[in-house]
Amino acid sequence: MNIEKVKKYNQKLLAVLGTIVALMALIGLISTLYFVGMDIGSSFGSKSEDGILSDETIELLQKENKRQQIISYQIPELVDTVNLIYMIPVSQKTLNNPENIEDNEVLGLLDMSGGKFSSKGKYRRSYYGSYNNLLIYDAKTEKLNKLFDDRVNFEKIDTKYFEDDVFITFKASNADSYKDGIINSKDLKKLYIYSVREQKLKDIGLNHADVIAYKFINESKNLLVQFGVDYNKDGKYDSSKEPKTLRSFNYKSGVLSEIVSKDIHSQLQKKLEGSSKE
């Protein structure tokens, strides 16, 4: 056997294997940098969708006659096919730096982001984003109404269809309860229900509690609502450490009632802590 030929072959093989390993390492490095860059870009890109500035932050900006967020309109969504009623979610964009209010008027600018027009009403549909108001547009009469005069923030809009009405429902924060300078999903929320037929807005909430989930009872307009209790009263519900409670809501009367009685709740609590033995 020619030893020199074997050595040369082994050297070539090692060189090829080394090249392959180096290429794989380079590809891995490029992929890592790419995904890290995507994460960074995503975090910066979503900054404007985090919520609206708190009242305290707004007051500081107003003292200097400045603003840092501007209104942006989503594409109208058809919620009542027969009567041609549309909802127009109102969102916001956050500027990199505050601007003087009189320098750049943004009235007339229209951000038509979002989905396509709805051509047919559905049993239930959801819309996602970062919103600060909701406009109701009657295409037949060309009448436009806004739901809120106060500053609010919400991220998901549901439409619920009944034989005689359409409900628009969403969970919204109306104060910076967490005190982080932004009104967003971290803050305590209420459940809002807008009746398209009645043109009325109702809200459901508990003190020191956050609306977690809700269900309509057997196709009726009454609801079961789950709240997260802000037990330590820090302005934010922590699902890992703080409890949930249940309520029923009668839509017609507007009454929010306990589902689990105080007596049963006391029995369950005592059983849990070992205070009561059967």
pLDDT, tens digit only, all 278 positions of the chain: 566 655 666 666 666 666 776 677 777 666 555 544 444 333 333 343 468 888 888 888 888 888 888 889 999 999 999 999 999 999 988 888 888 876 555 444 434 343 333 334 345 678 988 999 999 999 999 999 999 999 999 999 999 999 999 999 999 999 999 999 999 999 999 999 999 999 999 999 999 999 999 999 988 999 999 999 999 999 999 999 999 999 999 999 999 999 999 999 999 999 998 886 55
Q: For residue 189, report the phi and psi dihedrals to the nearest 5 degrees.
A: -125, 160
- Contact yes or no for 220/162 (Cβ under 8 A): no
Q: Is this model's pTM higher than 0.85 or not? A: no
- Contact yes or no for 168/194 (Cβ under 8 A): yes
pLDDT of residue 183: 94
3-state DSSP call for residue 112? coil
Distance CA 172, CA 169 (A): 10
Distance CA 184, CA 127 (A): 17
- Contact yes or no for 153/173 (Cβ under 8 A): yes
Tell how far CA 58 is from the center of its chain: 21
Three-point CA angle 221, 228, 232, nearest 5°: 150
Distance CA 107, CA 72 (A): 10
Run of H or E including 224: strand 223-229
- Contact yes or no for 210/227 (Cβ under 8 A): yes
Tokens representing residue 122 in the block = 């559905």
3-state DSSP call for residue 137? strand
pLDDT of residue 96: 83
- Contact yes or no for 175/208 (Cβ under 8 A): no
